[in-house]
Structure 1
Amino acid sequence: MTAAFTFPGQGSQALGMGKALAEAFPAARAVFDEVDAALGEKLTSIIWDGPAETLQLTENAQPALMAVSLATLRVLETEAGFSVAKDAAFVAGHSLGEYSALAAAGGLSISDTARLLRTRGLAMQKAVPVGVGAMAALLGLEYETAVAVANEAAQGQVCEAANDNGAGQVVVSGDKAAVERALEIARTKGAKRAMLLPVSAPFHCRLMQPAADAMAEALAGVTIKWPVSPLVSNVLAAPISDPDEIRRRLIEQVTGTVRWRESVAYMASHGVVRFFEIGAGKVLSGLVKRIADGAIGISVGGPGDIAAAKDAIAAVHSG
């Protein structure tokens, strides 16, 4: 198998995502209905009708992106013959996308995943008062240099590498003043661009510890099964399948670095050529091509993408 199924994280959300799929395919509609039922509210009406600022709230964006990913996957299964167990050498997701990946591989039920992501979004938002923390993208610096920038900027506060996205894209996270210092230091170290990100909280740094504690409690109360394909963990950049380890790594992930560059490199080094990005947006497909030589990123998010995905999975089988 030379394919991996990957699932997008926060920032890929867009008003109306998944609507065309739900209108065209009952399998997609059923996923959205299941998520609405699990949350006890019509999240779908926020996803499709807005307002946009309500969808952007972390507590809504996280389960919404998962719903679109799983709805897309169900259509790929029913219309294009996709099978996670047969076709995916690995599953992986960027931050919240790790939960989507687990649900896709049967490690979590869709209902539990929706509730966990609602809890995660609320806990991450509550962990740090608005305006106290910040995140910034440092473009054009290698990961090790970005870590050195963060360490220099901390000065007794928190400033840590949150996302190593590859292709010279590293995001730092922490106390606002420290992150602002990192912008200045990054420019002196040769960053092409360094800019604050429009996020509501400093994700993936140790300021998120209260959210990690909340997720430890929430994850203790759900059943995690062995996924049908191994999950390449954000915090390890290596595959895991044991339910107890998955639970532990999901808790660590709240405060830990999303090691996306290394995760993609790991999968590519183990024979993966085609990376299917399942759900909203095309962020991961763009990154894949820049991280792994010869890798193909295939984004599938709407009815118009299904035929091309079917051809691409056929190429996996024939190759």
Structure 2
Amino acid sequence: MSIAFTFPGQGSQAVGMGRDLAEAFPEARAVFQEVDEALNQPLSKLMWEGPEDELTLTANAQPALMAVSLAAIRVMEKEGFRLQDKVAYVAGHSLGEYSALAAAGTFSLSDTARLLRIRGNAMQAAVPVGEGAMAAIIGLEAADVEEVCASAAKGAICQIANDNGGGQLVISGARSAVEEAARLASERGAKRAIMLPVSAPFHSALMGPAAERMREALAEVQKNAPAVPVIANVTVSPLTDPEEIAARLVEQVTGRVRWRETVEWFGGNGVHTLYEVGSGKVLTGLARRINRDLNAVAVNTPADIEAVLKAL
């Protein structure tokens, strides 16, 4: 039986994130300083003091979440932890896949921060504000949601963006189509169909320009084989080849985050414990709903890190 590390995605950010790590550990402070320098921005000040609406902006939230995850990893490494000695796989939810790859050594910390800033800006710029939308559909199976999206599309883009498990799917695309799909989902028996307060239709075909920008950016950075395989969002398969990893990251911009299948893959491939490294506990909650046999543990405070180091 083995262990996997998972890394959270957008929505797990909160004002104050990572501050306790920075106060407790010089290794964590060094991570936040390096990210600030890579972005030429006092991002850590925004993370710890807000304002929340500025932290929530995609271009800020993405590198900020990565920084907290990597701060926790660096603290563990200072205590002698080596990913390849204790962990079989890594995976991350959307932007968290970049955090996973940084933790596994595929990208440097500075390059990961810059890639996520490019990704956030490119995703925001791909569609004029107001033209795209996303909605959470609770309580319908994926096949039913796919049918609802097809019925609502009428030539526009409307697709499943995230299959988060536990009966939670997120759809994305043109605003009119997503609104119609949400209405149809409610008629079909969804427990809830909620329009989300997001600024762009992430993980939809409308993100095509952002995918091309990421193809360019990923071609320019140093890429190493990860210390352990990464389970890619779009293929739910273990990858170790740097060029294939980059290709799947490009695909991920417009493709579905297959998180339910990822957790199921772990359960079917000998993983018994998932540690969620970084801000919040979203993935831990999802894992418990998807597969109750998995031990799911959130790691984001000094006490959490101490407990994990003892358990590993």
TM-score interval (norm. to shorter): over 0.9
Following TM superposition, by how much is the alpha carbon of 1:145 offset from its aligned partner in structure 2, in angstroms? Answer: 1.3
Q: What residue is the counterpart of 1:16 in the other structure?
A: 16
Partner Cα separation in structure 1 for residue 206 and residue 124 of structure 2:
11
The Cα of 1:312 is off from its aligned counterpart by 3.3
Aligned counterparts of 1:312 and 1:266: Cα–Cα separation in 2: 23
- Specify the SS of the correspondent of 2:88: strand
Q: Tell me the residue number matched to 2:44.
A: 44
C-alpha displacement at 1:24, in angstroms?
Answer: 0.4
| Aligned match of 1:126 | 125
CA distance, structure 2, for counterparts of residue 299 and residue 212 of structure 1 = 31
Quote the residue 1:57 is aligned against. Answer: 57
Cα-to-partner distance string for 1:217-258 (whole Å, 9 max, x where unaligned): 111100111001000000001111101100100000000000
Residue 269 of structure 2 corresponds to: 270
Q: Secondary structure of 1:297's partner? A: strand
Q: Deviations over 1:148-188 (max 9, x none)?
A: 11111111111000000011110000001100001111112
Structure 2 residues not aligned, in runs of 5+: none
Alignment of structure 1 residues 163-312 onto 2, 5 Å: 163-312=162-311
What's the CA shift string for 1:76-118, capped at 9, x where partnerless? Answer: 2224x43211111110000000000000000110000000000
Q: Normalising by the residue count of structure 1, what TM-score does the alignment of the two structures yield? A: 0.96
Q: Counterpart in 2 of 1:140?
A: 139
Question: How many residues are treated as equivalent by the alignment?
Answer: 312
Matched, 1:97 2:112: no
Which letter maps to 1:168? G
Structure 2 Cα separation of the partners of residues 49 and 43 of structure 1: 10
Identity of aligned residues (%): 59
- The code of the aligned residue for 2:220 comes to G
SS in 1 for 2:190: coil
Distance change in 2, residues 1:82/1:290 (3 Å): farther
Residue 273 of structure 1 aligns to a residue in which SS?
strand
Matched, 1:83 2:77: no
Question: Could you list the per-position Cα deviations for residues 166-216 of structure 1 after superposition, in whole angstroms to 9, with x for gaps in the alignment?
Answer: 111100000011000011111122111110111110000000001001101
Which residue type is aligned with residue 294 of structure 1? D
Give the SS at the match of 2:296: strand
| Separation in 1, partners of 2:128, 2:295 | 40
After TM superposition, give the deviation of residue 282 of structure 1 in Å.
0.2
Q: Pairwise CA RMSD of aligned residues?
A: 1.0
TM-score by length of 2: 0.98
